[in-house]
Amino acid sequence: MFSLRSYSRRVTRISFSRNFTGVFSISFTLNLPKSFSSKPIFLFTQSNPSFKIMSSSRPSAFDVLMSNASKKKQMSSKTQQQSSPRKRKNPVESSQNPNINTNNNSQNPISDPAENDAKQDELSTKDSHSDQIETAHVESLSKNGGKTTLDSTADENSSISQSGKKDKIIAKESGPKKSFDSDKGLKVAKKAKVLISPDESVAELRKKAASFDVKRAAYWGQGERIPFMFVVKAFDAISKESGRIAITEIVCNMLRTVIETTPDDLVAVVYLLANRIASAHEGLELGIGDASIIKGLAEACGTKEAHIKKQYKELGDLGLVAKASRSSQPLMRKPEALTVTKVFETFRLIAKESGKDSQEKKKNHIKALLVAATDCEPQYLIRLLQTKLRIGLAEQTLLVALGHAAVYSEKHSSPPGNVNNPLEEAAKIVKQVYSVIPVYDKIVPTLLAAGVWNLPKTCNFSPGIPVGPMLAKPTKGVSEIVEKFQDIEFTCEYKYDGERAQIHYMENGLVEIYSRNAERNTGKFPDVVAAITRLKKPSVTSFVLDCELVAYDREKQKILPFQVLSTRARKNVVMSEIKVKVCVFAFDILYLNGQQLLQEQLDVRREHLYKSFDEECSFLQFATAITSNDLEEIQKFLEDSVDSSCEGLIIKTLNKDATYEPSKRSNNWLKLKKDYMDSIGDSLDLVPIGAFHGRGKRTGVYGAFLLGCYDTTKEEFQSICKIGTGFSEAMLEERSASLRSKVIPKPKSYYRYSDSITPDVWFEPIEVWEVKSADLTISPVHRAAIGIVDPDKGISLRFPRLLRVREDKNPEEASSSDMIAEMYTAQKHNQRDNQDENEDD
215-269 pLDDT, tens digit per residue, is: 999 999 999 999 999 999 999 999 988 788 999 999 999 999 999 999 999 999 9
CATH class of 684-831: mainly beta
- pLDDT over 80 (residue 681): no
Instruction: Please tell me the predicted confidence (pLDDT) of residue 717.
Output: 93
- pLDDT over 60 (residue 689): yes
Instruction: Please tell me the predicted confidence (pLDDT) of residue 746.
Output: 86
pTM above 0.75, yes or no: no
Q: How far is CA 300 from CA 316, 346, 347, 378, 667, in A?
A: 20, 16, 17, 11, 53
Domain assignments of the chain as residue spans, ordered by start = 2-196, 290-385, 395-458, 471-678, 684-831
- pLDDT over 90 (residue 108): no
What is the CATH number assigned to the segment(s) 471-678? 3.30.470.30
Average model confidence (pLDDT) across the chain: 78
Spatial CB neighbours of 633, under 8 Å, sequence gap ≥ 6:
626
Q: How far apart are CA 613 and CA 184, in angstroms?
A: 82
- pLDDT over 50 (residue 733): yes
Q: How far apart are CA 529 and CA 514, in angstroms?
A: 12
Whether 172 is catalytic is: no
- pLDDT over 50 (residue 627): yes
Instruction: Please tell me the predicted confidence (pLDDT) of residue 44.
Output: 44
Instruction: Please tell me the predicted confidence (pLDDT) of residue 242.
Output: 79
Q: Exposure of 412 by Cβ count < 10 A (0-12 exposed, 13-18 middle, 19+ buried)?
A: middle
| Active-site position among 342, 362, 363, 495 | 495
Given CA atoms 714, 812, 388, 311 in this order, what sign does their dihedral have?
positive
Q: Which of 303-307, 329-333, 675-679 has the lowest mean pLDDT?
A: 675-679
Alpha helices in 35-191 (DSSP H): 61-82, 91-96, 113-122, 128-143, 153-162
Residues 576-619: pLDDT tens digits? Answer: 889 999 999 999 999 999 999 999 999 999 999 999 999 999 99
Cβ(348)–Cβ(277) under 8 Å? yes
Q: Got the DSSP string for 429-496?
A: HHHHHHHH---HHHHHHHHHHH-GGGHHHHS---TTSPPPPPEEEE-S-HHHHHHHTTTS-EEEEEE-
Mean pLDDT over residues 383-410, rounded? 91
Q: How far apart are CA 456 and CA 33, in angstroms?
A: 73
Mean pLDDT over residues 736-755, rounded? 88
- pLDDT over 60 (residue 345): yes
- Cα–Cα–Cα angle for 446, 448, 450, nearest 5°? 60
- pLDDT over 90 (residue 674): no
**731 phi, psi to nearest 5 deg:** -65, -40
Question: Highest-confidence range of 38-52, 492-506, 812-826, by mean pLDDT?
Answer: 492-506
Tell me which fold the domain 290-385 belongs to.
DNA ligase i, domain 1 (1.10.3260)
Instruction: Please tell me the predicted confidence (pLDDT) of residue 728.
Output: 79
